[in-house]
Chains A and B, each alone.
Chain A
Amino acid sequence: MSTPANSDLPQLLRIETHVGAASTAVPRAELPAVPRIELHSSRISKWLDWLFRNILLLCSLSVLGVMGIFFYELTSRSKLSIAKFGLHFFTGQTWDPVSGDFGALPFIYGTLLSSLVALVLAVPLAVGVAVFITELCPRALRGITSFTVELLAAIPSVIYGLWGIFVLVPILRLYVQPWLAHYGAWTGLFSGPAYGIGMLAAGIILAIMIVPIIASITREVLVAVPQSQREAVLALGATRWEMVRMAVLRNARAGIMGGIILGLGRAIGETMAVTMLIGNRPEIAKSLFAPGYTMASVIANEFSEATDDLYLSALVEIGLALLIVTVIVNAIARLLVWSITRGNSARSNA
């Protein structure tokens, strides 16, 4: 910046004092106008940045807020039932809206048994199909196979139920249940009249529904196993199976476990298809042929009919129990999956 001529100095000083920045030796008048505008606009844009950031922060806090609201609403709306029955709510076996006596054990039993049946059927299939897609499938078929599995996850629960009622149940009643009753009666699991509808039908439909969840997580985890691990084992002369067992499955254990627990979480909370197939009778029976009832189904069936406060409160308490259980189950599953994929792409429903 050039030194100003002497004659101009007083005027410049006057301007400087007016502006109030006397400390600078450089005369203000000579500064180009642009920085001033920049200074001005950056204050607005700083404010906009602040606003932007906080709106986004609010959006992500809404996720925490929703979780908080869930717990708050369900706890406060089930106070009546919690106060009246306490822990007996979860051990009581009678469910009698007329006399106002509520025990949730038959529903808890139904939820656990149907989920267990589903897991027993789904886990081998899901892990098998995931291994097939990542390790065995020809490249040309890989895309179409995993797309089909994704599609299975996109079918709504109510359509599984519809299909179950009109296709699965008759098949079970006419072919599968007589066969099971003949060869499996000694286990005690397959006795009693074969209605088709019942615990077995619910378990099978649940299995079909959770296979895609377990399979897609397992696939993600298997893909995350470094290729060099496979090559190292193959180079030592291992067969395909030995390679999968030693290099792939062993490294992916925790993640597969996570996928299975995630599937369990989905099975526990699944509502419509189970409601349509399980028979909806609050009984505790050992036989898989017998009808049952699950926690989610009883809410779906009776919530809008619940007339008095205690009845509604008891149903909400079942919902609260369901919420707590699934939150715990999902938290464990996520931690396991994250430990393998490092939190990068642990997407569940894609």
Chain B
Amino acid sequence: MHNMSSPGASTTSLSKPLSPWRRATNVGFIVLASVAAVLVLAPLVAIFGYLLYKGIGSINVAFLTATPKPVGESGGGMANAIVGSMMILGLGSLIGVPFGIGAGIYMAEFGRGKLVTLVRFTADVLNGVPSIVVGIAAYAMVVLPQQHFSAVAGGVALGIMMVPTIARTSEDMLLMVPNTIREAALGLGIPQWRATLQVTLRTASKGVITGCMLAFARVAGETAPLLFTAFGNQFWNLNPNQPTAALPIQIYSYAISPFDEWHKQAWAGALILIVLIVVAVSAVRFVTSRGTMANNA
């Protein structure tokens, strides 16, 4: 207790000013970290600014309804590419979503043992395999046997790329469901498959949908795996077994062309593409941030 007799002295010794060196490093650290944040965000602002600035002027009704015109003629649009992209993405989702969610459920609900660890690890590694390599594999699996490019081949490539992302996010989300809910369902005498599908998966549905949308947004802009699977097409094509135009391929080939008219179209296409993706990502963010299992940022 006698220590309390001189509180003034101890306070002063505690609040002794920092040495100049410590103060300087601390201030330097705060400044550098803030500068890093600004430098990272700057390109984002620049890219979106340019997309809006260049893209809005080139988007018109023709762009959304017409097919590409030959070099020299002005006008024309990317309607076939937009529809083609939707078709390829739809085919991809048909493959990616069921397999991804299935694998995610297996890892979360039966997730013990070496096999599941191996699957989890492989999914993470698969996530990092370059998309161009996935393109080669899809080419070898679908295009070579068929002897022609097709939307299906593109869909296979994108679907394969969706599986690991969906599997891992679904697993994460299912693991967040409290065990008491599983036990309550099983305690009512419901068979396991119904308990998993109708109770556990349903509880985690929001998060699982998030995972699917993120995977969708990620592959929506993929170009490399489509170059020699869907290949691209200057005309309308709704047959999934034929070469099909895709928005990213169209942007790529227009961007590296030497024609101003095509550059404009590339910007417009890029704006459409990014709007699709940002809407998907923001919708996900909005839905999850209101839910109980929000990703705490």
A-side interface residues toward B, CB under 8 Å?
45-46, 48-49, 51-53, 55-64, 66-67, 69-70, 73-74, 77, 124-129, 131-133, 135-137, 142-143, 145-152, 154-163, 165-167, 208, 211, 215, 237, 239-242, 244, 262, 265-266, 268-272, 276, 296, 299-300, 303-304, 316, 319, 322-323, 326-327, 329-331, 333-334, 343-350
Which of these, A60, A131, A148, contacts B44 with CB under 8 Å? Answer: A148
Q: How far is the CA of A156 from the CA of B281 in the complex (A)?
A: 13
> What residues of A have a CB within 8 angstroms of the CB of B124 in the complex?
330, 334, 346, 348
**A350-B295 contact, Cβ under 8 Å, with A52-B196, A276-B255, A330-B125:** yes
Interchain CB contact under 8 A, B270 and A129: no
Q: Is the CB of A63 within 8 A of B266?
A: no
Question: Known interface pairs A62-B103, A152-B40, A157-B224. Does A239 touch B25 (Cβ–Cβ under 8 Å)?
Answer: yes
Contacts of B37 in A (CB 8 A): 128-129, 132-133, 137, 145
CB of B132 closer than 8 Å to a CB of A: yes
Please, how many angstroms separate the alpha-carbon atoms of A74 and B129 in the complex?
13
Point out the residues of chain B lying under 8 angstroms from A319, CB to CB: 132-133, 136
Contact of B128 among A48, A70, A146, A348 (CB under 8 A): A348
Name the prevailing secondary structure of the A interface residues. helix
Residues in B220-261 with C-beta less than 8 Å from chain A: 220-224, 227-228, 231, 248, 251-252, 255-256
**Chain B interface, number of residues (Cβ within 8 angstroms):** 101
Indicate which residue in A125, A158, A167, A272 contacts B36 across the interface (CB closer than 8 Å).
Answer: A125
Q: Which residues of A contact B139 (CB under 8 A)?
A: 303
Q: A63-B126, A299-B132 are in contact. Are A132 and B106 (CB under 8 A)?
A: no
14 A-B pairs whose Cβ atoms sit less than 8 Å apart in the complex: A45-B191, A49-B193, A59-B99, A70-B137, A124-B36, A137-B37, A147-B297, A154-B281, A239-B25, A241-B25, A272-B224, A304-B231, A344-B175, A347-B168
- CB < 8 Å neighbour of B22 from A52, A239, A323, A348: A239
| B66: interface (CB < 8 Å) | no
In the bound complex, do residue B192 and residue A52 qualify as a contact, i.e. CB atoms below 8 Å apart?
Answer: yes
Complex Cα gap A244–B33 (Å): 11
- Do A323 and B133 touch (CB < 8 A)? yes
Expressed in whole angstroms, the minimum distance between the Cβ of A129 and any Cβ of chain B is: 5
Asked if B30 lies at the interface with its beta carbon under 8 angstroms from chain A, I say yes
Q: Are A125 and B126 in contact (CB under 8 A)?
A: no
Bound CA–CA A71/B136 (angstroms) = 11
Contact A73 B137 (CB under 8 A): yes
Whether A331 and B102, one on each chain, are in contact in the complex, defined by CB atoms closer than 8 angstroms, is: no
**Closest Cβ–Cβ distance, residue A281 to chain B (whole Å):** 15
Q: A132-B37, A156-B223, A167-B50 are in contact. Are A59 and B102 (CB under 8 A)?
A: yes
Given contacts A159-B47, A349-B214, contact A151 B40 (CB under 8 A): no
Using known A-B contacts A162-B251, A167-B46, A239-B22, determine if residue A150 contacts B119 with beta carbons closer than 8 Å.
no
In the bound assembly, the distance between CA atoms of A51 and B98 in angstroms comes to: 16
> Are B33 and A136 interface neighbours, CB within 8 A?
yes
On chain B, the residues within 8 Å of A57 by CB distance are: 106, 110
Q: How far is the CA of A334 from the CA of B117 in the complex (A)?
A: 12
Q: A67-B126, A70-B129, A242-B25 are in contact. List 9 more A-B contacts (CB 8 A).
A: A56-B110, A66-B160, A148-B44, A151-B278, A157-B224, A166-B255, A167-B46, A242-B26, A330-B124
